[in-house]
Copies of this chain bind each other. A is one copy, B any other.
Amino acid sequence: MNTDVFSLYESNVRRYGRSFPTVFTRALGATIWDEAGKSYIDFLVGSGALNYGHNNPNILAKAIDYLTGGNILLSLDMHTAAKREFIEVFVDTILKPRGLSYKMQFPGPTGTSANEAALSLARKYTGRSSVMAFTNAFHGMSLGSLAVSGSASTRELGGVARHDVIRVPYDGYANGAFDSASYIDYVLGDLGSGIERPAAIILETIQAEGGMNTASARWLREIQRICRNHGIVFIVDDIQAGTGRTGDFFSFEFAKIEPDIVCLSKSLSGSGIPLSVVLIRPDIDVWKPGEHSGTFRGNNLAFVTAGAMCKMWSDIKFTAGVERTAVKLQRCLDDLVAKFPNCIEEKRGRGLMVGLKCRSQAIVNRVHDAAFANGLLIESSGPNRDVIKVLPPITITDDELDRGITILKQAIQE
């Protein structure tokens, strides 16, 4: 397999091409093939962008139909039939059944575009400039999102000062030594705390890149209460944890909260085609027409596949299947934790968004390489890269899941 082209012409920044030294071609469901015909189980799924598997037949068929029909692809934010249908489907199958009523904004099609739009809107709405964000957060690579992210290596990146961000400890930070919600509440009420009332609090319910740290329902409700009390916009970045990853469509359903703004992207299109949306509580939607834009905000092919994805959530067989798979996955990982206490410290996460906190980065590296050799793709996360992310498609078959877990177990054993 020829990979010279990449080393010759692609920037040094390339990463996965190094850790998975092969060339991929075809993909279906949880399986992906390289040029040599070798197959791999995919527990990485585009960092959560392929929750419905590669080339999900229900979804792919709609894309092919749309393309062959000579339909409009790019439309900025003009009205199109495809966009109208997606909005209808999203409202009917996702929002209404959950009792939610949000306005939908389509910014640029990336997750970071959605977060940037959400932060801008919160600042405009409140007239305040700073934003409260958490230790080990990750919200994207553009400057506004970088500023609220926690990782030192990521943040160095922008090369400029990170402004207007108030950093506070996440739920359970430092092994639970600090009562994070009480601290936030206290400083916001103390005129001498040196901490201004922020425009927004932005958080992930599970910090995937930050090491699979999981917020409790109680803490999330507490944060929502603090936001309500102090007139702060409550933003959930549900880009990686949302769109089905935790078993529910939104990752925050289990906590019975209703954030003011929700950002979705990654698996939203159901197909890996770029799409994002910002869900906005109607009274916060103070945008003026055209005030926020983006060339690819009218990506109609993605609207079509996203609509197909949404419809799956009306199918009780589908949701029951996801639930069953989640239970099975959790049990598999519990077994691994029990079996390899010398390697694995604990299981983290909820639903199908799980991680294994290992005792060192070196262990994770060896597991990663052994898994790849045996046909399994995984990646790591956390500030010390010592957490194995286990993110199978939520539509994975039992057979594929078994194979993936078996390879993982062998890799740890080695």
Task: List, in ascending order, chain B residues with CB within 8 A of A157's CB.
Answer: 120, 124, 291-292
- CB–CB A295/B278 < 8 A: no
Please tell me if A55 contacts chain B, counting CB pairs below 8 Å: yes
Query: Whole-angstrom distance from the CB of A146 to the nearest CB of chain B?
Result: 8
Copies of the protein in its oligomer: 4
| CB proximity to B under 8 Å, residues A29-78 | 32, 35, 44, 46-50, 54-55, 60, 63-64, 67-78
- CB–CB B301/A72 < 8 A: no
Please tell me if A105 contacts chain B, counting CB pairs below 8 Å: yes
**How far, in whole Å, are A18 and B174 apart by their CA atoms in the complex?**
49
Given contacts A192-B150, A194-B133, A271-B73, contact A266 B278 (CB under 8 A): no
Contact of A211 among B113, B147, B192, B384 (CB under 8 A): B192
**How far, in whole Å, are A2 and B163 apart by their CA atoms in the complex?**
44
- CB–CB B77/A15 < 8 A: yes
Binds B, one of A20-28, A348-356, A391-399, A405-413: A20-28
Among residues of B, the one whose C-beta sits closest to the C-beta of A148 is: B194
Binds B, one of A135-143, A314-322, A327-335: A135-143
Contact of A274 among B24, B72, B296 (CB under 8 A): B296
- CB–CB A69/B26 < 8 A: yes
**How far, in whole Å, are A28 and B157 apart by their CA atoms in the complex?**
42
Query: Whole-angstrom distance from the CB of A220 to the nearest CB of chain B?
Result: 19
Please tell me if A88 contacts chain B, counting CB pairs below 8 Å: yes
Given contacts A35-B81, A192-B383, contact A142 B112 (CB under 8 A): yes
Contact of A2 among B2, B84, B274 (CB under 8 A): B84
Please tell me if A362 contacts chain B, counting CB pairs below 8 Å: no
A interface residue numbers (CB < 8 A to B):
2-3, 5-6, 9-18, 20-28, 32, 35, 44, 46-50, 54-55, 60, 63-64, 67-81, 83-84, 87-88, 91, 103-113, 116-117, 119-120, 123-124, 128-129, 133-137, 141-145, 147, 149-153, 155, 157-161, 163-167, 169, 173-174, 177-179, 182-183, 186-187, 190-196, 199, 210-211, 265-266, 271-274, 278, 280, 285-296, 298-299, 301, 382-384
Q: Would you list the 3 A-B pairs with minimal beta carbon distance, nearest first?
A: A123-B159, A74-B272, A192-B383
A-B contact pairs, 13 of them (CB 8 A): A3-B79, A14-B289, A16-B77, A23-B80, A24-B80, A27-B71, A47-B76, A107-B141, A141-B293, A143-B147, A144-B160, A178-B178, A274-B274
